[in-house]
Amino acid sequence: MPVPSRKGSGHISNTEGVDLAFTDPLTGLGNLRRFFDKIDRLIEERADDPAPFTVGILDLDGFTPINDLFGRRSGDNILQQVAMRLSASMDQHSTVTRVGADEFAFLYPMVFSEEAARERALMLIEILSAPYDVGDRTARLSASVGCSMYYSGEEDTETLVSKAETALYHAKQSGRGKVMVYTREMEEAAKRVTRIEQALRRAVAAGEVEPFFQPIVDLSTRQVVGFEALARWNDRDLGMVPPDVFIPIAEERGIIGQLSQLLLRQATEAACNWPDELFLSFNLSPSQLVDQNTARHILDILQRTGFDARRLEIEITETGLMTDPDSAEKIVGELRAVGIRVALDDFGTGQSSLGRLREFHFDKLKIDRAFVSSILEDKPSEHIIRAILAMCEGLGMDVVAEGIEEEEQAARLLQFGCAGGQGYMFGKPVNAAATMRYLRDHYRADLPADGASSSA
């Protein structure tokens, strides 16, 4: 596809005498260097009279699955179409550049207010939502946008772009097709994330994050068959930090590997004191399925703690698989080769469940709590669960239903043929010592006291 011509859009032609180092070769738009250069120049121009202007970053939502579906060449073609649409939407004062694989940035020198910035960004999202031609097929995209406003000469280019990235993060957290303009509240939230990150790094180094264990039962006998390890963190300054807060931060800030290794070591040390027939279920994060050292780290920990690999079950999600399917398949293969079982967690909440079941061999599937919670009053949920159970029977996979809180839910699941269950009805997550007490009360009275070493 020929590179589109643009006026005032950040396009760099040879006639302008600008180095090609400022040009994105795929789209012909300016690149990140061009974007920074444009902002630098505008700040200099307004040094004496700092009139406001707008900086924005636009991220295509769900572009990776489209790239996988249509192929990289078609993906490049779509990016070129995106570039043309964005370029055509710019006025003579404005600039659009490509700053990442599926990220574009824009500079609006004449947009002076947050309301106007939001309106212009929503217009860009609407422009990009129209179908894209990919051969004889069409594709659709949405986008998220984060904006920041320049108000005073105290702000520099890097600060403005960083604020726009923070706003983009909040936009994507809110769902697809959203626009966020940077606010002081976002700044406070970003500072809180940094505080949590710093405290988490210290806590991981000191071994202060610990596994809690939730029982998994045989629904027909109500006997415990294993436990899922769940991360819990009670910080001396921050108090109890929920896992849905600190786990994403650990993932984003590169702490998840160290955190996971700490938790697995603690969990397997505790599980060594359980009866041999009970298994331990442990979650891997998406980034661990891209790290080719993951399997080695797990096996090293098992060797050090003496925990039998055949008693370990690794839970992974569809999101983790989709990040890098080839890498995930290799890691899963290395784990299964030594007897570790692999379960697909949160089934039904991802984007390509059936395809993943065909491509990967799983030992177990966990039905997401969203279906279980509504099984008694929602017919579609009941039919979905029945279909999942029938499919797993055909594939020879075990099934566990998560989030069981009522006896009627457990009875209905058992009636449909679900063998395993997990949820508050059978026990809330508790620490290692409380887990041993639970086992003595619900499983076998002769177990050692509160995690003391057993002869086994």
Residues designated catalytic: 402
* Other Cβ atoms within 10 Å of 2 Cβ, number: 7
Q: What distance in Å separates the CA atoms of residue 90 and residue 5, rounded to the nearest whole number?
A: 12
What's the sign of the alpha-carbon dihedral 337, 291, 57, 90?
negative
Query: Between the CA of residue 282 and those of 263, 271, 326, what are the distances in Å?
Result: 9, 12, 21
* Cβ atoms of residues 38 and 95 within 8 Å: yes
The β-bridge relationship of strands 179-181 and 341-347 is unpaired
For residues 379-410, b (16+ Cβ closer than 10 Å) or e, as one string? eebbebbeebbebbeeeebbbbbbbbeeeebb
Q: What single-letter amino acid sits at 220? A: S
* Cβ atoms of residues 451 and 439 within 8 Å: no
Q: Which residues have C-beta within 8 Å of that of residue 201, sequence separation ≥ 6?
A: 255
Q: What single-letter amino acid sits at 25? A: P
Q: What is the DSSP letter of 17?
A: T
Q: What distance in Å separates the CA atoms of residue 442 and residue 436, rounded to the nearest whole number?
A: 10
